[in-house]
Structure 1
Amino acid sequence: MKKYHFIAVGGAVMHNLALALVKKGYQVTGSDDEIYEPSKSRLAKAGILPEKYGWFEEKIHSGLDGIILGMHARIDNPELIKAQELGIPVYSFPEFIYNQSQNKTRVVIAGSHGKTSITSIILHVLKDQNVDFDYLVGAQIEGFDLMVRLSNAPIIIIEGDEYLTSPLDRTPKFFHYKHDIALVSGIAWDHFNVFPDFDEYKDQFRKFVDLTPADGTLIYCETDPLVKEISLVSPTAGKKIPYHAHPSEIKQGKTTLITDNGPVSIQIFGEHNLQNLQGALHVCDALGISSERFYESLQTFKGAAKRMELIKKKGNSHLFRDFAHAPSKLQATTNAVKNQFPQTKLIAVQELHTYSSLNKDFLPNYKGTMDLADVAIVYLNPHAAAMKRLELMDENTLREGFGRKDLILFTDSAKLKEFLLAKDYQNTNLLLMSSGNYDNMDLEEIKTKFD
């Protein structure tokens, strides 16, 4: 029985990987200095929740086959130091995923935006078509109990993140997967704390594209000028396949695909999702799934959690939740909802939660991103800014940054909730966008406005 220990086991992907290894029959232990829900309950159910929070050298012993190191850990972590002293192999989770999938066809979905949605579409189609595959995805998807699966399947679908690999490896995660098939959806500056220079950020994607092997495939969104540029000039001898948004039409708030075999009704919408599904179509084709089978399965795809997720609907009024936080994601989501329902008022709420979004120097990148919203609201938690040691921006600064003189700012989630509860949502859509949770704002009362 293989034995692995997780340092920082409580993370979203880390705890899912731990659970996947338990499911595979491995012996798993872990440590962390803090674990929140749902990780806590899921680890407890599997019998691998640490008894105490903290780092304990005694958990590290020569009987371990490896250490899996999370990004949350520090390089001076006592468990890591002990493992290094004992010569135990230390893997970041992307290195471990590659270690477990060297004999598989590895598909890596990359991009500043859209990668979770594209990966989710591919997973849905493959499962619906009874294809055996492994996966790693950054969100909980309907029909999948974990965000990671490792088995003897011949294929693995990986959502490839450009963020740093581990405290020991300051290069992007997606370098380590050594893809056979790569897809790049878009490049728009993100992770300002790690890549303060945009050229440096863009260069990570160039390096990723260039890793495509001569017998591999590169699928790229040609409507993104930066993606098109790096893909066309890449020296890779691999097959290059460009894509753009799938032809479609909108009637009465419903999107229908225009295909060679007639119209296909789908449950997702927006220009960016039409691009996402077209990219997914090419990936599935490269894996042997015909377009007819792809469209058949796509019709039942409802979207990934918190990606344009419909929470509640009443008549022609909708409550949506989205993970959008980077400028490109924010603009794409706002525009999608307004273009889908042009005659319906749109109230858009954005929480500035990440280091990039809270940084005054990065703020100009948000200009114009909420222009199509009838009411544009920004929530900024002073504690979040303080934790990241950043200046708390005022309303005038934010108005100038977003390019909206009517921008409304809230720094207290209770007051934001009170404002939203006071609104009449007749013929009105409410779009909540954040990678956080508005300082634990309870949405249940807001949902009742759409009963």
Structure 2
Amino acid sequence: MTVHFIAIGGSAMHNLAIALHEKGYQVAGSDDTIHDPSKSRLEKRGLLPEEFGWFPGKITNDLDAVILGMHAKKDNSELLKAQELGIKIYSYPEFLFEQSKNKTRVVIGGSHGKTTITSMILHVLNYHDVAVDYMVGAQLDGFDTMVHLTEENEFIVLEGDEYLSSPIDMRPKFHLYKPNIALLSGIAWDHINVFPTFENYIEQFKIFNDSLTNGGMMVYNEEDLVLKDVVENSSHPIKKYPYKTPNYFIENGITYLDTPEGDLPLEIFGDHNLQNLAGAKWICQHMGIDEDEFYEAIASFKGASKRLEKVAENESTVIFKDFAHSPSKVEATTTAVKKQYNKRAVLACLELHTYSSLNAEFLAEYKGALDKADKAVVFYSPHAVKIKQLEEVTEAQIASAFERDDLVIYTNPTAFKEFLFNQNLDNTALLLMSSGNYGGLNFEEVKELI
């Protein structure tokens, strides 16, 4: 099969391109710019475009399919040529479904935690040498790529994102997978540029729940009351398996899980991660992994990339970076770090970087999100607000939204870096939360803070 990727450099797109290349497909693609790690990984496999830009001449009737990434626009010249020639155009999730129609599809969804839960499941399966196809939103230890596709594997494990599928397909990605087994971790309003009301956002999860195959299995976090209502009030003929935070305790900075096999020390911590673990256990059991086998494997799980990822540590200081940006995740992550390191000061630095977080109307959702931090800092770039063509957000609006009198606010990357590098971090847990990089902060340099 010959496939062309429009916007091949995206995180998900380049991984799918590599997976198809390894499966024996003829793969090519275009993009207007590609950065590392995508660039070097494509180059290593001979898939990097010779030059950047869009070239309609690459689109010919010799192609079996075109896969369209979200980075492209509706008026992309290659897309228009493909439409003119009548070539089959797939979104990323559409193509994954085509690749998995004859497999047992396991889809992990939710506003937060889906990458971590998917990573936990793959870690356990890999530990026990169970081969599956997969797509996950982070690079994992022991896995070369974030997408793996075969003809022979029985299961495919998919991270189910609720964001839109492509510039010409406004359906959320996870609506397209039609799972046999699914998990929902929680519902917390996000992507307000696409789902302007919470009710509209909730509706997407109702549609996902009802997209399961008849008789399918839905695993869900019963501690999220909105999600509990969505699943338990659905009349769709599926089996329902609730989960909740398991019993645990913290001793000398280590979280121990209460299991039938005894107290199990974990590499991860925080109520939200323990909820994720409980959900992952149900999924693994549905995939044939016994409970004791799950516990044996999960003890060595260190977390997904950028999800409470430990950057550096010594006897008196620990530094984490985390992808947290939505209000509920920021609160959960900050609370988890304070609970784990309750005898240390927690310095929490949050970058407001996404469309939702930089929206003046949405800011109120952050009320109390940083309350558990001993010192709280918010960084945002007025330039990013302009690029996203949003209404200007002021420091006063941010201070008012978080309702914290001592909140420190930075808009200049250099000033923020100077503040950070002049902190005394003795007996401190530093938490850097962002889906960006604070205007160019080098995390390798951050390691030198201790």
For residue 70 of structure 1, what is the amino acid of its counterpart? G
Once residues 280 and 446 of structure 2 are traced to their aligned partners in structure 1, the CA distance between those partners, rounded to angstroms, is 34
Q: Deviations over 1:114-155 (max 9, x none)?
A: 000000000000011111101001111111111100012110
Q: Deviations over 1:47-68 (max 9, x none)?
A: 1111121111110111111000
Once residues 307 and 268 of structure 1 are traced to their aligned partners in structure 2, the CA distance between those partners, rounded to angstroms, is 10
- Give the structure 1 partner of residue 311 of structure 2: 311
- Give the structure 2 partner of residue 43 of structure 1: 42
Is 1:428 aligned to 2:421, yes or no? no
| C-alpha deviation, 1:6, in angstroms | 0.1
Q: Deviations over 1:19-56 (max 9, x none)?
A: 11111111111011111111111111111111121111
For residue 177 of structure 1, what is the amino acid of its counterpart? Y
- Give the structure 2 partner of residue 177 of structure 1: 177
SS in 1 for 2:356: helix
Query: Does the Cα contact within 8 Å between 1:395 and 1:408 map onto a contact in 2?
Result: no
Once residues 56 and 444 of structure 1 are traced to their aligned partners in structure 2, the CA distance between those partners, rounded to angstroms, is 37
Query: Does the Cα contact within 8 Å between 1:376 and 1:407 map onto a contact in 2?
Result: yes
Query: Does the Cα contact within 8 Å between 2:367 and 2:401 map onto a contact in 1?
Result: yes
SS in 2 for 1:389: coil
Query: Does the Cα contact within 8 Å between 1:410 and 1:416 map onto a contact in 2?
Result: yes
Matches within 5 A, 1:401-412: 401-412=401-412
- Give the structure 2 partner of residue 446 of structure 1: 446
SS in 2 for 1:67: strand
- Give the structure 2 partner of residue 359 of structure 1: 359
Is 1:30 aligned to 2:29, yes or no? yes
Once residues 312 and 3 of structure 2 are traced to their aligned partners in structure 1, the CA distance between those partners, rounded to angstroms, is 42
| C-alpha deviation, 1:271, in angstroms | 0.2
| C-alpha deviation, 1:196, in angstroms | 0.9
- Give the structure 1 partner of residue 280 of structure 2: 280
Matches within 5 A, 1:82-97: 82-97=81-96
For residue 286 of structure 1, what is the amino acid of its counterpart? H
Query: Does the Cα contact within 8 Å between 2:379 and 2:410 map onto a contact in 1?
Result: yes
Once residues 131 and 321 of structure 2 are traced to their aligned partners in structure 1, the CA distance between those partners, rounded to angstroms, is 31
Once residues 146 and 353 of structure 1 are traced to their aligned partners in structure 2, the CA distance between those partners, rounded to angstroms, is 26
- Give the structure 1 partner of residue 392 of structure 2: 392
| C-alpha deviation, 1:290, in angstroms | 0.4
- Between the two proteins, the alignment pairs up a number of residues equal to 449
Query: Does the Cα contact within 8 Å between 1:421 and 1:445 map onto a contact in 2?
Result: no
SS in 2 for 1:258: strand
SS in 2 for 1:355: coil
| C-alpha deviation, 1:392, in angstroms | 3.3
Query: Does the Cα contact within 8 Å between 1:346 and 1:430 map onto a contact in 2?
Result: yes
| Structure 2 length-normalised TM | 0.98
- Give the structure 2 partner of residue 8 of structure 1: 7
Farther off after superposition, 278-287 or 79-88:
79-88
- Give the structure 1 partner of residue 16 of structure 2: 17
Query: Does the Cα contact within 8 Å between 1:213 and 1:236 map onto a contact in 2?
Result: no
SS in 2 for 1:229: helix
Once residues 222 and 215 of structure 2 are traced to their aligned partners in structure 1, the CA distance between those partners, rounded to angstroms, is 21
Query: Does the Cα contact within 8 Å between 2:382 and 2:393 map onto a contact in 1?
Result: no
Once residues 442 and 130 of structure 2 are traced to their aligned partners in structure 1, the CA distance between those partners, rounded to angstroms, is 39
Is 1:191 aligned to 2:196, yes or no? no
- Give the structure 2 partner of residue 72 of structure 1: 71
Q: Any unmatched runs of 5+ in structure 2? A: none
| C-alpha deviation, 1:362, in angstroms | 0.4
| C-alpha deviation, 1:395, in angstroms | 2.2
Query: Does the Cα contact within 8 Å between 1:75 and 1:167 map onto a contact in 2?
Result: yes
SS in 1 for 2:228: helix
- Give the structure 2 partner of residue 211 of structure 1: 211
Matches within 5 A, 1:258-273: 258-273=258-273
- Give the structure 1 partner of residue 369 of structure 2: 369
Once residues 426 and 71 of structure 2 are traced to their aligned partners in structure 1, the CA distance between those partners, rounded to angstroms, is 44
| C-alpha deviation, 1:247, in angstroms | 1.3
| C-alpha deviation, 1:236, in angstroms | 1.6
- Give the structure 2 partner of residue 342 of structure 1: 342
Matches within 5 A, 1:48-127: 48-127=47-126
Once residues 94 and 393 of structure 1 are traced to their aligned partners in structure 2, the CA distance between those partners, rounded to angstroms, is 34
Once residues 28 and 187 of structure 2 are traced to their aligned partners in structure 1, the CA distance between those partners, rounded to angstroms, is 37
SS in 2 for 1:420: helix
Query: Does the Cα contact within 8 Å between 2:109 and 2:182 map onto a contact in 1?
Result: yes
Once residues 393 and 165 of structure 1 are traced to their aligned partners in structure 2, the CA distance between those partners, rounded to angstroms, is 29
| Structure 1 length-normalised TM | 0.98
Matches within 5 A, 1:219-234: 219-234=219-234
| C-alpha deviation, 1:360, in angstroms | 0.6
Query: Does the Cα contact within 8 Å between 1:3 and 1:28 map onto a contact in 2?
Result: yes
Q: Which consecutive segments of 4 or more residues in structure 1 shift more than 4 A?
A: none
Once residues 336 and 425 of structure 1 are traced to their aligned partners in structure 2, the CA distance between those partners, rounded to angstroms, is 19
Identity of aligned residues (%): 53
SS in 2 for 1:76: coil
For residue 136 of structure 1, what is the amino acid of its counterpart? M
SS in 1 for 2:357: helix
Q: Deviations over 1:226-266 (max 9, x none)?
A: 11000001112111000001211111110011011211111
Farther off after superposition, 110-119 or 139-148:
139-148
Query: Does the Cα contact within 8 Å between 2:29 and 2:49 map onto a contact in 1?
Result: yes
Once residues 132 and 419 of structure 1 are traced to their aligned partners in structure 2, the CA distance between those partners, rounded to angstroms, is 47
Once residues 269 and 436 of structure 1 are traced to their aligned partners in structure 2, the CA distance between those partners, rounded to angstroms, is 23
| C-alpha deviation, 1:213, in angstroms | 2.2
| C-alpha deviation, 1:214, in angstroms | 2.3
Once residues 391 and 230 of structure 2 are traced to their aligned partners in structure 1, the CA distance between those partners, rounded to angstroms, is 35
For residue 225 of structure 1, what is the amino acid of its counterpart? L
